[in-house]
Chain A
Amino acid sequence: MNESENMTREVAAPVRDNAEVEAALNRRYEAGFVTDIESTSLPPGLSEDVVRQLSAIKQEPEWMTEWRLAAYRHWLTMQEPDWAKLEIAPIDYQSVSYYSAPKAGLKSLDEVDPKLLETYEKLGVPLHERAKLAGVAVDAVFDSVSVGTTFRKELAEAGVIFCSMSEAIREHGDLVRQYLGSVVPTGDNYFAALNSAVFSDGSFVFIPKGVRCPMELSTYFRINAMNTGQFERTLIVVEDDAYVSYLEGCTAPMRDENQLHAAVVELVALERAQIKYSTVQNWYPGDENGVGGIYNFVTKRGDCRGADSKISWTQVETGSAITWKYPSCVLRGDRSVGEFYSVALTHHRQQADTGTKMIHIGKGTKSKIVAKGISAGRGQNSYRGLVKIEKGADGARNYTQCDSLLIGKKCGAHTFPYMEVKNPTAIVEHEATTSKISDDQLFYCLSRGIGEEDAVSMIVDGFCKQVFRELPMEFAVEAKKLLEVSLEGAVG
């Protein structure tokens, strides 16, 4: 396992007990695992050599190197997508370091911006977490493996493989080779191609036939170093009759420059398999004036390959300066089901263009989309979704509901649903509304002695309930708090 990554990943089963974590962290720290960081970093820039070097550093097999190179060559022929309702400052892909060690950052929590600490205080993030989140170069950031291994034995007994992508490529090469890129091909889109060429790590999950994963799996991503991009790749394969619930959280330190995050997530569900994928995305959104923040350009797609399979996406998007993300379901298997539940919030000068795609191919396939957009400050929030019913999808059914909430005079809320139907037995429905928090609702709360900010957050919470319900418990609590924090100063 190479710990010397620009991004710091934690592949972890749920943290059940702080003491256990603490112990694991300490153990790892005592082991003094900080490796030869300087020697493994690459200068900014992207070329075939960089891709080769990256692959060599990660000791990847030949096929993987070739796969990356093919993706890189394809990427060179592509153009950045411009159809989203986003204003993106030009990205210089040559100024990004595609593999660099974390630079020595802040030495202690005292140096961290108090505003950020205050935020974490509110979120109830444990102290050592807080240090990590703030981008302090604490060695504990490399704790992922030890914590991961604590549960790995338990998971291995069930036959579940849960490890980092680099490890999977080395140790489960055949599996990875079989499925990697089979849902999101290397040339799928501009950012997916870039990711395929330079992805640095990610998680790999494999649930064998008939296994119900004994615990919820989770990954925490964060971007640590400056001038780096993060390109992680997640692949989840669930065999017949198996089930997994997967959680993903994202955070990043505050930086003045924009940082690129181009991830790819691929899900494969075989016969009767079920995958529940939940995300709470809280990348650094930039400050009130739109300086800094993460460019979150992510391709997530699930393939319901087997009959009666189900993939459910739930996302709470509160962070990032710009979000470009459309978790999708390809409903190939007959009677397969796709779901998408989303809350996207934009405040200050954040921009989000997010939604989903439901591609109905199999007979009797069903999909449901519930998207809630909240815009405050000067935020611009767009829902963009595609529901496509192919010729053979007899009896396909879709229901889509998009609601937008506006808080303030300068923000924008937009809806762009695409519906393409080629089968006369399908039924597709879409509904959307846009409104603001009504004065009546606010007055009611205020007259009962509830402060304005609390009232707004209560109303917003009610607006999002339908989505929060789909989140695992701990995440639902976190998501609610995140919204509160993100909306601070939105009224009054």
Chain B
Amino acid sequence: MTEVQASRTPFVQAVLDAEGAEASEGTGIVWLDTARRENLDAFLATGLPEGRSEAWKYTPLRALAQRAFAPADADAARAANVDAAVFALPGVTGPRIVLVDGVFRADLSVLDTLPSGLRVEPLSVALTLAPEPLRFALAARHRRDAADAFLHLNAALARDGVVVNVAEGCTIESPVHVVYVATQNDVAWHARALVEVGQGGHLNVVEHHVAIGDANALGTVVSDFVLRDDAVLELVLIQDASAAATLVRRSHARVGARAAATVHAVELGGALVRHELTAELVGEGARFDSRGVFALKARQHIDTQMDVRHQARDTTSDALWRGVADGRSRGVFRGAIVVAEGADGSDAALSNKNLLLSAQAEIDTKPELEIYADEVKAAHGATIGQLDERSMFYLRSRGIPQVQARSLLTLAFCRAALGSLPNEALREHLGALLVAHLPTGPAEA
């Protein structure tokens, strides 16, 4: 029997109601069914994190807990009419894997001409062909804590996802485009991604969230990125979900010796969005760079939680995050750097700058340092403020109207996070997306 301790909020009740139908279709893989069952029990026992949870301090889930999400309809997802134009990206023309409402869509994906050394397939296929290599990731145990409720929910309910492998020493030039499309209303969909870059391998991934119409679904995505020694991963995260969407993601990178992971994240859409980005630098000389920007308007709530753990000697991390909040939005950023005992020679830096453009908006930021080694360089800085008056004056004095000057400066502020993106076409496109998304009206103040 499932032990239900959490208060029966409509959210929890909906998961419980769906349980019967889910349980009936076991996978036949014993360890996987067990893991799913355990995770479901863990979720039902803790429920969603509540107000006192430090990890969710700035992202209250009271309203979400009152909503009931049915499981996404797989048949409808397979039949949904999705125009490939919604996820077309300049500079991203290689292999593509598309999941609609958490269900793999072969017709939208491009997986037939993969370069040698690269394997891209949906999780559902990988599980039928060779499930054993996935066991370590899929049967991993998580602490039973409400703060990790979505992790449990995803592990229990994700039926499909993405598996990407790069063989040892292979360099894959064209980026792998991983697309998550949401089309249905009032449903919850879940997807699991497992990406591994073999020793000395080189991979580009573009994770892309889009929506058809105004889907107000809840989506959860849990992604693991494993970089073996000397591997290189360039990851671009583009979140352009519908304005009504709720999206909770956890991306975890495990970086081996001398390997380097670089993340560029652009958060545009969604009503309630949370991204937990964690990196473990486990090998000597590992490196993790992250660049990100969120641009919020209306009543959007976007929360980015970054944790970088230096666990080996001579590891490096550098983070540069920008945020803009307008309207009645709320932007949340937490950037934690942990240098473990023995991780001497670590060098960690984090900068988080935010623009608050409206009297009804709010920005909460919390850079953290936890240092347990002494041969270390660690620094962080964070600011919350407005556009520089002198820059504004300079532009105005050259005849640029206020509205345009504001938008120019805001864009310049945001683009600092994209400047290091090597794919030029993509960089330009993201810049244009930002322009379209950024506020253009006059300052309210």
Contacts of B384 in A (CB 8 A): 389, 419, 421, 426-428
A143 to B114, CA, bound (A): 87
Residues of B within 8 Å of A426, CB to CB, are 356, 384-385
Q: Are A412 and B362 in contact (CB under 8 A)?
A: no
Q: Does A430 contact B (CB under 8 A)?
A: yes
Task: Kindly identify, within residues 341 to 377 of chain B, every residue whose CB is under 8 Å from any CB belonging to chain A.
Answer: 341, 354, 356-359, 361-377
- Determine whether the beta carbon of A422 is less than 8 Å from that of B341: no
- Which B residues, 363 to 419, have Cβ-Cβ distances below 8 Å to chain A? 363-386
When the two chains form their complex, are residues A420 and B371 in contact, meaning their CB atoms are under 8 A apart?
Answer: no
Q: Which residue of A lies closest to B344 (CB)?
A: A409
Taking a contact as CB atoms closer than 8 A, the residue among A407, A418, A436 that contacts B366 in the complex is A418
Specify which of A83, A407, A424, A426 lies most central, judged by the most chain B CB atoms within 10 Å of its CB: A424
Residue of A85, A406, A421, A422 most packed against chain B (CB within 10 A): A421
Would B362 and A413 count as touching, CB distance under 8 A?
Answer: no
Asked whether any CB of chain A lies closer than 8 Å to the CB of B445, the reply is: yes
Residue of A nearest to B326 (CB): A424
Task: Give every chain B residue within 8 A of A421 (Cβ-Cβ).
Answer: 354, 356, 362-364, 384
Contacts of A159 in B (CB 8 A): none
Determine if A412 and B369 form an interchain contact, defined as CB atoms under 8 angstroms apart.
no
Closest to B57 in A: A418
Point out the residues of chain B lying under 8 angstroms from A423, CB to CB: 356, 359
Residues of A within 8 A of B375 (CB): 436
Q: Which of B359, B366, B374 contacts A424 (CB 8 A)?
A: B359
B379 touches A433 (CB 8 A): yes
A423 to B386, CA, bound (A): 10
How many A-B residue pairs have C-beta atoms within 8 angstroms? Tell me: 113
- Residue A88, interface by CB 8 Å: no
B interface residues, how many (CB within 8 angstroms): 37
Which of B365, B371, B372, B445 lies in contact with A419, CB distance below 8 A? B365
Per-position binary interface string of chain A over residues 103-146, scored 1 when its CB falls under 8 Å from any chain B CB and 0 otherwise: 00000000000000000000000000000000000000000000
Contact A404 B374 (CB under 8 A): no
Q: Is the CB of B368 within 8 A of A415?
A: yes
Smallest CB separation, A255 vs chain B (Å): 30
Determine whether the beta carbon of B371 is less than 8 Å from that of A406. yes
Interface assignment of B173: CB less than 8 Å from any CB of chain A:
no
Q: Does B112 contact A (CB under 8 A)?
A: no
Q: Which residue of B lies closest to A425 (CB)?
A: B445
- Assuming the contacts A419-B366, A423-B359, asked whether A412 and B371 have C-beta atoms less than 8 A apart, the reply is yes
CB contact list, A371-412 vs B, under 8 A:
389, 391, 404, 406-412
Give, as a whole number of angstroms, the nearest-CB distance from A141 to chain B. 41
In the complex where A412-B371, A426-B356, A426-B385 touch, is A432 in contact with B362 (Cβ < 8 A)?
no
C-alpha gap A434/B379 in the complex (Å)? 6
Across the interface, do A417 and B366 meet the contact criterion of CB distance under 8 Å? Answer: yes
Q: Which residues of A contact B354 (CB under 8 A)?
A: 421
CB distance from B369 to the nearest CB of A (A): 4
In the assembled complex, B54 has its CB within 8 A of some CB on chain A: yes
**Contact A424 B368, CB 8 Å, known A406-B374, A406-B376, A407-B374:** no
The smallest C-beta distance from A379 to any residue of chain B, in angstroms, reads: 11
Bound state CA distance, A2 and B8, in angstroms? 56
- Given contacts A416-B366, A421-B362, A434-B369, A429 and B383 within 8 Å (CB-CB): yes
Report the separation of the CA atoms of residues A404 and B381 in the bound assembly, to the nearest whole angstrom: 14
Interface residues of A in 272-314 (CB under 8 A from B): none
> Which residues of chain A come closer than 8 Å to B382, judged between CB atoms?
417, 419, 428-430
> Are B54 and A434 within 8 A (Cβ)?
no
Nearest chain-B residue to A422 (Cβ)?
Answer: B362
Contact of A430 with B386 at beta-carbon distance under 8 Å, contacts A406-B376, A424-B357 already known: no
What A residues does B379 contact at CB under 8 A? 431-434
Give A414 to B370 CA distance when docked, in angstroms. 4
Complex contacts, A411 vs chain B, CB 8 Å: 372, 374
Q: How many Å from the CB of B441 to the closest CB on chain A?
A: 13
B residues less than 8 Å from A420 (CB atoms): 58, 362-364
Docked CA distance A163–B136 (Å): 68
Q: How far is the CA of A50 from the CA of B282 in the complex (A)?
A: 55
User: Please, which residues of chain A bring their CB within 8 A of the CB of B368?
Assistant: 414-417
Query: Once bound together, how far apart are the Cα atoms of A423 and B444, in whole Å?
Result: 11
If A408-B374, A415-B380 touch, whether A428 touches B367 (CB-CB below 8 Å) is no
Q: Are A424 and B361 in contact (CB under 8 A)?
A: yes
A434-446 Cβ-contact flags toward B at 8 Å (1 or 0):
1110000000000
A-B contact pairs, 16 of them (CB 8 A): A404-B369, A406-B371, A414-B368, A414-B370, A415-B367, A415-B368, A419-B364, A419-B365, A420-B58, A421-B362, A421-B384, A423-B359, A424-B361, A426-B384, A434-B377, A436-B374
Known contacts A417-B368, A427-B386, A430-B381; 7 further A-B pairs (Cβ under 8 A)? A83-B54, A407-B374, A417-B366, A417-B367, A419-B364, A431-B381, A432-B381
